[in-house]
Amino acid sequence: MPVLVVKFGGTSVSDVTRIRAAANIIANCQKEGFSVVVVVSAMGGDTDRLVDLAQSISCHPARREFDMLLASGEQVSVALLAIALNERGVKSKSYLADQIQFVTDAQHTRANIVRVEVDKLFQSVAVGEVPVIAGFQGVSTDGEITTIGRGGSDTTAVVIAAAMDAEECRIYTDVDGVYTADPRIVEHATRMERISFEEMLEMAALGAKVLQTQSVEYSRRHSVRLRVLSSFKNGGGTVIDTEENERMTNLPVSAVTYDKNDAKITVRHVPDVPGVAYQLLGPIADSGISVDMIVQNVSVDERTDLTFTVPRENFDVSLKILNRSVPKLCKEYPPDDGKLIEVIGDDTIAKVTVVGLGMRSNVGVASKMFETLAQYGINIQMISTSEIKISVVIHVDFCEVAVRVLHTAFGLDAPKD
């Protein structure tokens, strides 16, 4: 029988009723004719509760112990789901990472997956059992419990799906698929039947929190077909795969996303000589802060402006780091016309992005995007593009309206009833 890997997120197993519902979904997948393998996250809220406990004891909990602690969350949910499955007549056994040898390196709290042994899982499904595997956790080669980073259960599921050559990997979550825009903002947003890995990756990276980026990347590399669907209502969800079918390409733009979690920093009157950008951005990156969109203006009098974005939570730290670097730079390149190097921060921005494979064969997308925003008086502060997306930074107050007007302009609105 073909193998189907199904994964349930925390909200899908957050209480007894939902655990029973998940057991029903699994039973139905079996009836479809699949050998079902299940991956589960901790019960919704459990991981946060454990994190709070640890942090109320220590600001920097010993990382080995932190992993030991967090891994217990998935142990609870796999056991309860296996109990629910057996109760409704579906033979089932739960497995921890060390029991199936889901092996990682020893980098606690962000371990890298080394290999997974699936013999035990194949044996389990061969006798009609449903193995229920604890997501998020791993075991190091010397028997230590590790975790692979928050949201890692998606990746656990995909890795197992790849190793078992599964027909499909279904991610059950609290949304019923991937939408052309956030339905809370755009009334006429529609669920996409299909989306390509490339588009999904752009969307995941841009704050559409449906799937963990790493899991999409892994799926693409190992050609695992993903399907995102709701554990609360019926429906086919959204398939994420490589086939570029008609739906994907007959419109230049597939979706409009936004992200309010960035802040913008501008350094003015930077000497326009090689190495200066590195002198400014290097120390920030070295602190583990991911510097995103970077824009440098054309030079005037050998001075230029450098603008970039950082996650809003790292905004203050980034400013502090810059204010240490700038005086050194001033000494090295004394301003000769009174134009001092200055740092300007702005955390009232939003990034709005249009994503679409169809963009590759359609040159008019950028100009249409800028024209639309201009029509509504929305000023563009920064622009960044890739082959299949265009992002603009605008004032945060215009975020929702920008998403709505772009959704309409690119023909994504659902037909009105």
Does the protein bind a copy of itself through residue 414 (CB under 8 A)? Answer: no
The stretch among 84-92, 158-166, 181-189, 251-259 that binds a copy of itself (CB under 8 A) is: 84-92
Helix, strand, coil percent content, the chain, rounded in steps of 5: 40, 25, 35
Token pair belonging to 288:
């583990």
Minimum separation from the CB atom of position 59 to a copy of itself (A):
8
307, containing H or E segment = strand 303-311
Does the protein bind a copy of itself through residue 94 (CB under 8 A)? Answer: yes
The stretch among 93-101, 163-171, 212-220, 332-340 that binds a copy of itself (CB under 8 A) is: 93-101
Sign of the torsion angle spanned by Cα atoms 180, 173, 175, 405: negative
The stretch among 5-13, 49-57, 180-188, 375-383 that binds a copy of itself (CB under 8 A) is: 49-57
Token pair belonging to 11:
């909200």
Which of helix, strand or coil describes residue 52?
Answer: helix
Using CA atoms, how far residue 166 sits from 30, 94, 126, 160, in Å, is 14, 19, 14, 8
DSSP H helical segments within 257-342, as ranges?
A: 276-286, 315-332
In the bound state with a copy of itself, the residue whose beta carbon lies nearer, of 145 and 189, is 145
> Cα(378)–Cα(371) distance, rounded to whole angstroms?
10
> Cα(333)–Cα(303) distance, rounded to whole angstroms?
10
CA-wise closest residue to 233 among 159, 293, 174: 174
User: Which of 1, 16, 300, 374 forms a contact with a copy of itself (CB under 8 A)?
Assistant: 16
Number of residues that bind a copy of itself (CB under 8 A): 37
User: Which of 6, 19, 26, 265 forms a contact with a copy of itself (CB under 8 A)?
Assistant: 19
Does the protein bind a copy of itself through residue 83 (CB under 8 A)? Answer: yes
The stretch among 73-81, 170-178, 230-238, 311-319 that binds a copy of itself (CB under 8 A) is: 73-81
In the bound state with a copy of itself, the residue whose beta carbon lies nearer, of 124 and 215, is 124
The stretch among 75-83, 103-111, 184-192, 292-300 that binds a copy of itself (CB under 8 A) is: 75-83
Does the protein bind a copy of itself through residue 86 (CB under 8 A)? Answer: yes
Chain length of the chain: 417
- Binding-site ranges for a copy of itself (CB under 8 A): 16, 19-20, 50, 53-54, 56-58, 61-62, 64-66, 68-69, 71-73, 75-76, 78-80, 82-84, 86-87, 92-94, 96, 98-99, 143, 145
